[in-house]
Amino acid sequence: MDTQSVIFDPELIQRYDTSGPRYTSYPTAVQFHEDFDETRYQQLARQSNQGHPPLSLYFHIPFCNTVCFYCGCNKVVTKDRSRSAPYLDYLYKEMALQAQLFDTDRVVDQLHWGGGTPTFLSHEEIHALFQHTRRYFNLRNDDKGEYSIEIDPREATAETIALLREEGFNRLSLGVQDFDPKVQKAVNRIQSEAVTQTVLDAARQEGFHSLSIDLIYGLPHQSVDSFIRTLDKIIEVSPDRISVFNYAHMPKLFKPQRRINEAELPSADEKLRILQQTITHLTQAGYVYIGMDHFAKPEDELTIAQRSGSLYRNFQGYATHADCDLIGFGATSIGKVANSYSQNLRALDDYYAVLDGGHLPIFRGIELTPDDLLRRAIIMDLMCHFRLDIQKLEQDHNLSFQDYFAHAWQALDKMQEDGLLTFDSRHIQVLPAGRLLIRNICMIFDQYLQQQQTQQRFSKVI
């Protein structure tokens, strides 16, 4: 069966239109609690050395020069460039504390800088942060790691791109969102095509392995026709990956969104039409629908990993290195070490104060139970590969799937009847009509959603 195609069924989508997690982790961050502290994290980090898996490092750079009204990220909006210097000093303190916990010969297979705007940093600061990382951790020198950075083209020049490549980055993710000037004005992100093209040209000249462009649908003034015009321009520059995110208007949770005029947002029906045409347009242009907003070229690593069954999902989205322990650095960053998740303090002053006391700034997390690990394995397979090998799962976890998930059979029967999936005692296979609704399918296996009414904390699945 072709698992890399998608069927758009408006009636099905409307019927299953509910709120739910994006499953960048299971359990989701809603389940993190403050009983999980620095002491337990340190114990688990040291234990993780026994298996000697590679490492993944995430650095959160929270600063932005201007605020994009749609943004729900943890950020500090400031034009004061001097604020990054003390933040970096504290990152170095955090690196020193974390480095004590992990064997020095564990190779860093993944590295990611996110934000905020990582290129808010000066060229000197970029160099210093990378050098400190090399000092404390075993970065690869063979250009075979997955070393990526999020770029705001308005905050980067050709010289910036050359520096990033020289330091060791080999993947770029560029924020575009929409090229329409009216949309850009409504969300306070003015970014010309020329500025974006300059960064793309420089990245190609410097030999970056992968270029990804981020778009958002559902923003003010967008229509099918206007968004297709942006898509045509993106297809023309031919990035390796394209992410098309659904704008979730949640102004009660994200203050900048209160500056968006709700009357200017496209209707629910128009949003669905934009999504439908986007999928058609990109697949006709040769891109493969990976899942959860992501498209990639057939020869891209993500597409290959999905075909081979090795695709993985983490807090940065889809990835190709499933076996890494993830260490999060910076305010609000999240890590995954051994069978646990942990999160740093959000406010800069709190983050600084804890590090001044010589402690890691972890304020909450969760240690996974055997039930969590079982359900995470199911959700990861469904999210990444749109199938589940039930017999293998039963062997790995020594259980009867039908007995353990007896409560799920009614929901699975209903979804099979609706054409979202097929299942028997050996497999669950998500059908092309179910791929857009994969979050709904995964929610069947989310024990915390069954126990609590937490869905209001999540965005709509479409």
pLDDT in tens, 124-141: 999 999 999 999 999 999
Query: Which residue type sits at 368?
Result: L
Confidence of residue 457 (pLDDT cuts 50, 70, 90): low
pLDDT band at 412 (very low <50, low <70, confident <90, very high): very high
Tell whether the model's pLDDT for residue 228 goes beyond 50.
Answer: yes
Q: Residue 328 and residue 335: Cα distance in Å, rounded?
A: 5
Q: Within the chain, what is the greatest distance between any pair of CA atoms?
A: 60
Please state, rounded to an integer, the average pLDDT across all residues of the chain: 94
Instruction: Single out the residue of 384, 460, 454, 378 nearest to residue 423, CA to CA.
Output: 378
- Residue 3: predicted pLDDT: 46
361 C-beta neighbours (distance < 10 Å), count: 26
305: confidence class by pLDDT, cuts 50, 70, 90 = very high
Which pLDDT tens digit goes with each residue over 363-408?
Answer: 999 999 999 999 999 999 999 999 999 999 999 999 999 999 998 9
Residue 452, pLDDT score: 64
For residue 268, pLDDT over 50 is answered with yes
**Confidence bin at 320 (pLDDT 50/70/90):** confident
Question: CA dist 209 to 46, 148, 150, 240, Å?
Answer: 33, 10, 14, 9
The per-residue pLDDT for 8 is: 86
Question: Is pLDDT at 340 greater than 70 in this prediction?
Answer: yes
pTM to 2 decimals?
0.94
Q: Which residues contact 35 (CB under 8 A, 6 or more apart)?
A: none
- Confidence band for 451, pLDDT divided at 50, 70 and 90: confident
Total residue count of the chain as it appears in this document: 462
pLDDT > 70 in the chain, percent: 97
> What backbone torsions phi and psi does residue 344 show, to the nearest 5 degrees?
-80, 160
